[in-house]
Every structure is written in structure tokens, then in C-alpha cells.
């Protein structure tokens, strides 16, 4: 573990907010591409060589990330990335990034904030990465479209089966009665399933648990109730029992087809809400980069505007241009030239002492990247 209390707190927060992480004892170029959908990943050791890492949630590295000049390490995580050691020759993309050691000859790209506890040397830093967020948005849109296409197909099948089961019941000599517990509803031209009351009874459970409960309810409760409603019909003729069982099979198919429709509708709503929350989070997040060490020449900071829009296809675009701050060597080694390019295209340069670029924070304020001491950052203004 890290001796830095801020890093330890960040690691604890990430690992406590999810299921047990997948643990690796280090990664090297021999691993090639390490990709998993297991959720959080904890690496107890270094990530070395030109390995590529893709994580569907958060990544914690209790060690360093060191790639090669010609083949950097590439890390991409949907959630947070926390690295306790140094980062050299690496490209990291994540929702947030927190690094405990020196960062050199690397690229850090986040949707939200970036925190570095030591020096930045020849590093490209970008906060508010829309390309990364846009991929997530398109994933939500793709899953939504897939669910919708499947839902339309299932709804058509459901409508056909509702009408068919109704006609089968009507063909019997007395007409079987399936109406039960406000779940199986007889309508003029169909038999409709409404599982709303059942969902209230089972309460807040996972989809698999609800489906298992529905299977038990159908087998132990619903069939018995419908059997009692139709006892006279079944007892009148031995052949009626066979007809009854065939129709029960059709009813079971109808109940669980309705269940699949309900699950798909909820999954579609989850994708819609996730997409909406993604855009809201991008718009409301105050993107910040904090550096507790020194900022050396050949380092740049880029910030995308806070306001973004999303198209019907799930493409995200910012309202405005990227604002940048580039640090280069000044008139001598003790001076730094800071070239600022605003989001509206204006450029200006200022000279500062190298010692001033220590323990600073940066963010977008209006058109420009502003910076200042960490302890005075909240009062910064353009």
C-alpha cells in the first residue's frame, strides 16, 4: 500500500464501492493485451513494457507503470485509475486519474479530474475527454437500440400468443377461466399478463431473483389457483385434464414472455438513464488538475468546455473549443514560458519563475486555463 494518506483514502473508496476486485501480481509485455469485464482490478506490482490494459471499472496499481519509448503502456478504464508509483512512457485514459509518483513522457486523459502527487515532466494532460465519454455514450445507445429491436419483436410475439391462448380457451366446451390474482386478465379478445402486483410482492430484488420467484409462484401458487377455478371442467371428463395441462403450458409461455418484455423495458430505461447521467455528470463536473510536485517544460494542460450536447445517435460534442496551457523553457533555466490558448482561439504568453509551478492546481475558467497554488485555488479567477 501507499504511504500517502490521500492515495490510501482514494484506493479504499474505490475498492469498497464495488464487489471483490480481480487481483493480479503485476503485468508485463508478455501479457500483450490484458482485458477483462470482471469489474475492478487490483494489480499488486508493476505494469511494465508495452502492455495494453482495458478495464470496465476501476484499476488500482500498487506499483509503477513503466512502458518503452517506442511502445508505451496503454491503460483504459471506464472508472478511476489509481497508481501508487511512478508513470513513465504511458498513455492513460479514465474517468479520474490519481498518481502517487513522478509522471514522465506520458499522456493523461480523463473525463473529470487528475491528481499527481509528484513532478510532471514532458506530459500531455487533458481533462474533460469527450472522445472517451463519446464511446461510452455510443455504447449506451447501441445497447438501447439492441434492446428496442428485441423488444419490438417480443411484443409482436406476445400479442399473437395473447390472442391465440384466448381463442384456445374459448374453444373448450365451457371456456376455461384463467383470471387470477390480478395477474392473468381476461380481455374481450385476448388474455393479458400484468406482473405489476407480483413485482410489488417480491419487492426490490435483482432480476434473476425476481425470475426465480416468478417460477416458484407460477408452479406453487398460480397453477393451483387456476386449477381450483376450473375444477368442475377438469372433473367432467378425463380428456379435459389433458386440454387443461396443454393450456397451462401456453399460459406459462405467456407469463414468462411477459417477464422478458418487462426486463427488456427496464434495461432500456437503465441505458437511457445512464446516458442522461453521463451527460449531466460531464456538464456539472468542475474538471481540475492538481500537481503537488513541479511542472517541468514540455508539459501541456488541455481543458474542454464544460457545456456539452449529445445527438440522437449518442455522439457527444462540446460547445466551444479546447483551451490549453503549454509550459516551455523561458529565457533561462529558472524561468518558464506559459503559452495560453483560450477556447475562443486567442493566445497570450506570460513568463513565470520555475518555482511558482510547484504545488499548483489548474482548471478552466471562462475561455482560459487558470492556475495557482493549491491552498489558494478556490479563489482563482481569470
Distance in angstroms (rounded) separating the CA atoms of residues 193 and 186:
9
Q: What is the pLDDT of residue 312?
A: 59
Instruction: Kindly give the confidence (pLDDT) of every residue in the chain, 382 residues in length, as a single tens digit, with 9 standing for 90 and above.
Output: 556 777 888 888 877 766 688 899 999 988 889 998 878 899 999 999 989 999 988 999 999 999 999 999 999 998 899 999 999 999 999 989 999 999 999 999 998 889 999 999 999 999 877 777 777 778 888 899 999 999 999 999 999 999 998 888 777 644 555 555 578 888 888 988 999 888 988 888 889 999 999 998 888 887 777 777 767 776 777 777 777 788 888 889 999 999 999 999 999 999 888 888 877 777 666 689 999 999 999 999 998 765 666 665 556 666 667 889 999 998 888 999 999 998 777 889 999 999 999 999 998 887 888 999 988 765 444 3
Q: Show me where the domains of the chain are located.
A: 5-135+282-379, 137-274
Other residues' Cβ atoms within 10 Å of the Cβ of residue 184? 21
d(C-alpha 369, C-alpha 280), whole Å: 22
Q: What is the pTM of this model?
A: 0.69
Task: Please count the residues of the chain.
Answer: 382
In this structure, what DSSP letter does residue 220 have? I
Supply the pLDDT for residue 99: 97
Query: For residue 92, what are the β-bridge partners?
Result: 75, 108
Question: 25 near 116, Cβ under 8 Å?
Answer: no
For residue 338, the model assigns a pLDDT of: 94
Amino acid at each position: 500500500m501507499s504511504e500517502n494518506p490521500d492515495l490510501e483514502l482514494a484506493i479504499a473508496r474505490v475498492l469498497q464501492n464495488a464487489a471483490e476486485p480481480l487481483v493480479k501480481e503485476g503485468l508485463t509485455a508478455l501479457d500483450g493485451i490484458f482485458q477483462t469485464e470482471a469489474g475492478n482490478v487490483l494489480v499488486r506490482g508493476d505494469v511494465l513494457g508495452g502492455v495494453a490494459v482495458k478495464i470496465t471499472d476501476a484499476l488500482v496499481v500498487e506499483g509503477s507503470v513503466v512502458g518503452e519509448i517506442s511502445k508505451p503502456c496503454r491503460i483504459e478504464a471506464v472508472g478511476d485509475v489509481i497508481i501508487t508509483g511512478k508513470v513513465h512512457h504511458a498513455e492513460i485514459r479514465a474517468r479520474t486519474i490519481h498518481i502517487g509518483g513522478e509522471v514522465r513522457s506520458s499522456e493523461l486523459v480523463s473525463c473529470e479530474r487528475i491528481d499527481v502527487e509528484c513532478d510532471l515532466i514532458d506530459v500531455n494532460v487533458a481533462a474533460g475527454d469527450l472522445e472517451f465519454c463519446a464511446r461510452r455514450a455510443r455504447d449506451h445507445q447501441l445497447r438501447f437500440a439492441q434492446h428496442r429491436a428485441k423488444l419490438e419483436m417480443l411484443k409482436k410475439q406476445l400479442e399473437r400468443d395473447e390472442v391465440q391462448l384466448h381463442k384456445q380457451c374459448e374453444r373448450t366446451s365451457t371456456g376455461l377461466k384463467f383470471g387470477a390474482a390480478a395477474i392473468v386478465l381476461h380481455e374481450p379478445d385476448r388474455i393479458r399478463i400484468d406482473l405489476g402486483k407480483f413485482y410489488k410482492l417480491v419487492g426490490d430484488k435483482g432480476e434473476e431473483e425476481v425470475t426465480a420467484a416468478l417460477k416458484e409462484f407460477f408452479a406453487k401458487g398460480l397453477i393451483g389457483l387456476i386449477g381450483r377455478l376450473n375444477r368442475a371442467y377438469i372433473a367432467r371428463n378425463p380428456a379435459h385434464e389433458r386440454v387443461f395441462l396443454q393450456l397451462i403450458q401456453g399460459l406459462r409461455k405467456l407469463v414468462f414472455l411477459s417477464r422478458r418484455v418487462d426486463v427488456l423495458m427496464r434495461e432500456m430505461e437503465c441505458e437511457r438513464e445512464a446516458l442522461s447521467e453521463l451527460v449531466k455528470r460531464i456538464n456539472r463536473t468542475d474538471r481540475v488538475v492538481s500537481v503537488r510536485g513541479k511542472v517541468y517544460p514540455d508539459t501541456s494542460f488541455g481543458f474542454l468546455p464544460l457545456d456539452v450536447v449529445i445527438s440522437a445517435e449518442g455522439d457527444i460534442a462540446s460547445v466551444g473549443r479546447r483551451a490549453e496551457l503549454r509550459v516551455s523553457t523561458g529565457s533561462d533555466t529558472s524561468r518558464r514560458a506559459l503559452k495560453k490558448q483560450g477556447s475562443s482561439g486567442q493566445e497570450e504568453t506570460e513568463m513565470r519563475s520555475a518555482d511558482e509551478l510547484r504545488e499548483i492546481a489548474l482548471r478552466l475558467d471562462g475561455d482560459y486555463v487558470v492556475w495557482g497554488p493549491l491552498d489558494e485555488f478556490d479563489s482563482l479567477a481569470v
